[in-house]
């Protein structure tokens, strides 16, 4: 399968998509596959969305033939020739990516592209033996990633999503607190008004009880004292 360019490409894209799904990304929501940009005819293999919908473009490249030939021959000179050819293949893959409009501020992209190598052994060889090649790619804002490092990138993006949601939750909580403070202030104002009204009623009650009631009682007492006594009527005997 790896010797066939088309099958190898399909395999690489499947690995990338599986890793994204394993990281919790949903196709069509968190990432898209082989979709043309709005301001360009370029079609990256994948585009991952950041929380603000900024895109990270991913191109899946899988140089293999010359590395395979180098591993199969015992001729030292020929092996070295194949290794050099493989390094050239990687440089060409990087050049192909930089020739495409994958970094495009008008299409709201980040300022780098990920070159995904879906075979960890091949990526490790590039990283360990072709230092100048992958460093040259970084200078051109092309970041090479194998399955492990690609998974780490996906986790960072996923964490960004979680932090974004957490921040949104924080804003909602703060909003609720502010709303509570506003309602509590209004409650205090109304409660204070009611307290004043109760105070007025209480003062009126005490005034009525202490002053008016006493005045009424004194008046009643005077009525009792000053009222004339009626003489008894003698009984008339029959």
pTM of the model: 0.65
- Is the pLDDT at 32 greater than 90? The verdict is yes
φ and ψ of 229, to 5 deg: -85, 130
Out of 61-65, 97-101, 167-171, 226-230, the most confident range is: 97-101
d(CA 64, CA 67): 5
Q: What domains lie within the chain, and their CATH numbers?
A: 5-168 (3.40.1350)
CA distances from 141 to 26, 42, 110, 162 (A): 26, 17, 10, 26
Q: What is the pLDDT of residue 85?
A: 92
Least confident of 14-23, 101-110, 118-127, 204-213: 204-213
d(CA 203, CA 227): 35
CA distances from 155 to 25, 74, 149, 152 (A): 10, 41, 10, 5
Mean predicted lDDT score pLDDT of the chain:
79
- In this structure, the number of other CB atoms found within 10 A of the CB of residue 1 comes to 8
Q: Which residue from 150, 132, 144, 154 is spatially nearest to 63, judged by alpha carbons?
A: 144
Q: What is the pLDDT of residue 72?
A: 87
Q: Please state whether beta strands 31-33 and 109-116 pair in parallel, antiparallel, or not at all (unpaired).
A: unpaired
Tens-digit pLDDT profile for residues 134-163:
889 989 999 999 999 899 888 888 887 777
- In this structure, the number of other CB atoms found within 10 A of the CB of residue 67 comes to 21
Q: What is the pLDDT of residue 238?
A: 46
């Amino acid at each position: 399968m790896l010797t066939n360019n088309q099958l190898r490409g399909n395999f690489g894209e499947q690995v990338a998509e599986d890793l994204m799904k394993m990281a919790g990304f949903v196709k069509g929501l968190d990432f898209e596959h082989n979709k043309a940009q709005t301001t360009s005819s370029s079609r990256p293999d994948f585009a991952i969305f950041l929380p603000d919908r900024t895109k990270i473009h991913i191109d899946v490249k899988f140089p293999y033939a010359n590395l395979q030939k180098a591993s199969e021959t015992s001729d030292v000179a020929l092996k070295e020739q194949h290794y050099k050819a493989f390094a050239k293949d990687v440089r060409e893959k990087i050049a192909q990516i930089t020739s495409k409009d994958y970094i495009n501020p008008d299409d709201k992209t980040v300022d780098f592209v990920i070159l995904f190598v879906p075979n960890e052994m091949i990526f490790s060889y590039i990283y360990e033996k072709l230092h100048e090649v992958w460093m040259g790619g970084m200078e051109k804002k092309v970041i090479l990633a194998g399955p492990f490092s690609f998974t780490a990138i996906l986790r960072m993006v996923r964490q960004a999503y979680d932090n974004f949601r957490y921040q949104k939750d924080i804003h909602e909580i703060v909003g609720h607190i502010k709303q509570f403070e506003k309602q509590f202030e209004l409650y205090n104002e109304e409660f204070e008004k009611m307290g004043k009204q109760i105070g007025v009623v209480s003062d009126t009650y005490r005034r009525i009880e202490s002053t008016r009631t006493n005045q009424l009682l004194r008046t009643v007492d005077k009525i009792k004292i000053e009222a004339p006594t009626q003489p008894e009527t003698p009984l008339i005997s029959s």
